[in-house]
Amino acid sequence: MAGKDVATMKIGPKVWKNGEFVNWDDARVHVMSHVVNYGSSVFEGIRCYKTTQGSAVFRLTEHMQRLQNSAKIYRMETKFDRQAFCDATVELIAGSGLDECYIRPLIMRGLNEEKPSFGVNPFPSPVDAYIAIWQWGKYLGEEALENGIDVCVSSWTRITSNSMPAMAKAGANYMNSQLIKMEAILGGFSEGIALDDRGMVSEGSGENIFLVNNGKLITPPLGASILPGITRDSVLHIARELGIEIVESQIQRAALYLADELFFTGTAAEITPIRSVDRITVGDGKRGEMTRMIQEEFFKIILAERPAPLGASWHTFIHDTGEKKTVGA
């Protein structure tokens, strides 16, 4: 079945909901659902690529494990385990007519229609699970992967881990991200960089950040109010394989201006160079050599043109039964 066309975007015709496949237009929630009123959801962003060996989801298991972790932190119990989400994703894509797509699994608190509860207390609300898919291009633009983007340091501070857990990819966290993103766009930038409550570099509105200086690859540690990004982890593995020295440490705002190179990482953003911060040019004002090297190896792995570092299995092929196989093994 072919994907549904909405403008230039193709959308998967089915959505997986609590173990069943429903039509896209029928995947709806009540306006008084807990998630609508209080933001009680956790989610993931995953990509399926058209590789040299067929359509494959990148690091599906790791993403679904993070989804399970996010749900556990917020005490959202669902009867669907990690493998059930993985299997549902493969089946959903296989029947969609899409050979590449963006995948959005969601776990959210809905509405108990028999005994409605409209307060903050989430426990009376049922926990629902969804997976939707659509075709989505480069999040920050096709040309951004080579030319880079202009960003600003946001006036909005990143949420702190003891107020809202940064380890969880929760819908409510992204209200903070929206403030960062809107401020950047209205200021004429593509993206914003948030500082944490101590004034140290945290991350973008939806991306982790890396800095290159004197041949070293530097990134904020996981304790710095950042999401433990899957693409971030992939870059660290690639960098180690390339023999690049990695430093996970606090980064001052001024270090952004003095960096040789900067780049964002994320499932949507992939690896996107940053050419200026607060209208101060980064390096030569274009993609740097280390960024290019890491980017090229990343996309070779993505497209199954080479194995993942250490022979890891990072692809789930859609023509499989959901079991992973290692490229090049």
The C-alpha angle with vertex 188 and arms to 187 and 192, in degrees rounded to 5, equals 70
Measured CA to CA, the distance from residue 259 to residue 306 in angstroms comes to 30
The DSSP result for 137-195, as a single string, is --TT-TTHHHH-EEEEE-SSPPPPTTTS-TTS-BTTHHHHHHHHHHHHHHTT-SEEEEE
In sequence order, the 6+-apart residues with CB closer than 8 A to the CB of 57 are: 46, 47, 48, 49, 89, 90, 93, 103, 315, 316, 318
The set of residues, in sequence order, having a beta carbon less than 8 Å from that of 223 and lying 6+ positions away, is: 161
Active site residues: 169
DSSP secondary structure letter of residue 24: G
CA 101, CA 90: separation in Å to the nearest integer?
Answer: 12
How far lies 64's CA from each of 70, 76, 319, in Å?
10, 14, 19
Q: If 0-12 CB within 10 Å is exposed, 13-18 middle and 19+ buried, where does residue 262 land?
A: buried
The span from the CA of 178 to the CA of 159, in Å, is 12
Say how far apart CA 175 and CA 52 lie, in whole Å: 38
Q: Rounded CA gap, 59 and 3, in Å? A: 23
